[in-house]
Structure 1
């Protein structure tokens, strides 16, 4: 199979046989079959990924999206002093997927990136566009690829190898979104299950941690509008509690990428709003269990794909 290394040319690496897997958790989620990827097919997949990145880079959607992201990050810096001011002169973005090693020396931010649930980008067009946007996001914020952590329980061996050869870090364990942070972190979680967002909020349920969090994912406002209030309060307590403290910026509208980035927003949690809450608001945060939830939408830890015969 082929892969894009962190700092060089596209190359062919030794193939590794995969196994057919199914995706089914206790909620009965369907699982796409994963077929063996030959060297030739690997090259075709990586070519499609590169073409998708370039298409997105040259689109009006990315121009608007880039401006939106830059504006949010800069506004976050102004409001909380938690992030450095980021600027990227027009026309000076890297022209290819290859990561420029000297970016590390000139990186203007210590922002980490965690990506959950991007899906099977080797076979899904939607997932491939979302991965392409992640590549462009790292470029425009000048974040080294080794500062980007990814996990999806459905990643194939080929996909894991591809991401690692691109310089990214593939997490080994299913954290269910329960990753505590200790520095400014951007979570990239497009079209993930509501429980994943809820778990993330619970694990970082403090004004100090949430002030350092930026989240790109499904609109919290949209969740509030679609879910019955009793369900939101019972199953997704932390989303429910954080709604009034959240500043949400919608992604630009695009008819071409409607199915890929619909209902996506950038969420931030301004320090001024967080510290206005009494200490009792943050104390005694119980871990979510979802015992009454009828549609969990995530694969929980310990639930594995099964082989298809």
Structure 2
């Protein structure tokens, strides 16, 4: 958002969990493919209001501190233009100055499964948190990539107008990292996390991966051990070398950010595993899964 309060446009599943209300969302979303100017403006105002509400909450205050502690090792020397402004820093949300405000991050940001934010309140809050994270971590918007099968054409245009990158095809979570990458995957299906781990099954790649999503410890506690080992073997394997930090608890946002944690895979722990641990990692299949919680590609 610019200083005058207007929206600033930047110029120039096997994929996700079947969240509660997805069927309803999909039906509603079909009616908002091409919104009227007034309806589009109404949704934009709701998103702005959600951002500001979340920004002023105790939940965000604690969450921000938690995320900063995890990602501070990726801070770098700032990139500055001739005008003195940070390169790539969009003005969608107001800057808050602090000790690290002038440091740019090397992180890429990938978001899967956020849902249809024009029709879902929960999705709107998750999108609001995404914008606050980009602001706080100083991640340029062109380094933020998003995909959800539920995105309408209006939502895709909105995200692109905000300077973000919409992934064209359903990757099923199989994105290989080549730089430090933060994956934002709140309430996605277990197969999506499993696919992501498989695609990056090496100490070098997992050490560059940070994942915000459903607690792996929670998955282990709720899922029978035989099912976890059979269907989600990479989640099962990585548990022993995962450092997990829970999001703060909030009554207000319990249904939106519950069971959410930040997952890291420290290189020292990854290197402690024998060579055989990393060899022969076959691409996951889910033929025996009764509730896959994903949307297939195609």
- Pairing partner for 2:246 from 226, 229, 250: 250
- Pairing partner for 1:173 from 169, 172, 179: 169
Q: Is the 8 A contact 2:93 2:135 kept in 1?
A: no
Q: Is the 8 A contact 1:185 1:214 kept in 2?
A: yes
- Pairing partner for 2:41 from 40, 43, 47: 43
Q: How does 1:259-270 map to 2 (within 5 A)?
A: 259-270=255-266
> Which residue in the other structure is 1:10 paired with?
7
> Which residue in the other structure is 1:15 paired with?
none
Structure 2: distance between partners of 1:96 and 1:148: 15
Structure 2: distance between partners of 1:98 and 1:161: 19
Per-residue CA deviations over 1:125-146 (Å, capped at 9, x if unaligned) read: 0000000000000000000111
Is residue 72 of structure 1 aligned with residue 73 of structure 2? no
> Which residue in the other structure is 1:112 paired with?
108
- Superposed CA RMSD in Å reads 2.4
Matched residue SS, 1:118: coil
Q: Is the 8 A contact 1:177 1:197 kept in 2?
A: yes
TM-score (norm 2): 0.84
Q: Which runs of 4+ in 1 moved over 6 A?
A: none
> Which residue in the other structure is 2:145 paired with?
149
Q: Can you give the 5+ residue segments of structure 1 that lack an aligned partner in the other structure?
A: 13-24, 78-82, 88-93, 101-105, 303-309
Matched residue SS, 1:160: helix
Q: Can you give the 5+ residue segments of structure 2 that lack an aligned partner in the other structure?
A: 10-17, 79-88, 96-101
Structure 2: distance between partners of 1:9 and 1:54: 14
> Which residue in the other structure is 1:84 paired with?
75
C-alpha deviation, 1:30, in angstroms: 3.1
TM-score (norm 1): 0.81
What is the count of residue pairs matched by the alignment? 265
Is residue 140 of structure 1 aligned with residue 136 of structure 2? yes
Change (3 A) 1:122 1:52: same
Matched residue SS, 2:115: coil
